[in-house]
Amino acid sequence: MTTVISKLRTGHVGLNVTDLDRSLAFYRDALGFQVLGEGKEEGRRFAFLGQDGELLLTLWQQADGAFAPASAGLHHLALSAGAIEEVRAYEERLRSLGVEFAYEGVVAHGEGAASGGIFFHDPDGTRLEISVPTGAEGASAPTAGAPTCGFF
């Protein structure tokens, strides 16, 4: 009997954070995630976040310092939106909350690409992206000859 192996897909992503309350506020208020579950025991704090009941992100309060781009591990967390208008709405919301952006406005994923989005950082400096596969036609690509999401 042969075992059928299905295609894998990304499940949820787990992030270490330095301050769970601060990160919860960011992912809830800035990105619209809902708290699906939370562990509040001292020394073992965590939160399960999602949308429409689906787990998408876990936060673990166990980091001693900010995100380190030069260390092995997570490079960035990419989130997909349905349309470029949604990306721009997130950009407006994030700006109103004082979030730090890597680039000014919507940028293309590469020179001449139709895909693109916004690139920013969470409170611990973790690099985040909200993008769409089309709709960024004509937007500039901040890094010539390399993927935009690779070097921000």
Q: What digits encode the pLDDT tens for the residues 36-49?
A: 999 999 889 999 99
- According to the model, what pLDDT value does residue 140 have? 93
Q: How far apart are CA 103 and CA 62, in angstroms?
A: 29
Q: What's the rounded Cα separation, in Å, for the pair 113 and 117?
A: 11
- The pTM assigned to this predicted structure is 0.91
Instruction: Report the SS3 class of residue 37.
Output: strand
Instruction: Give the Cα separation of 133 and 93 in Å (integer).
Output: 21
- Region 4-31: mean pLDDT is 94
CA dist., res. 17 & res. 13, Å (int):
13
pLDDT over threshold 80, residue 1: no
- Whole-angstrom CA distances from 92 to 23, 30, 37, 102, 117 are 19, 10, 28, 15, 13
Banded pLDDT at 100 (limits 50, 70, 90): very high
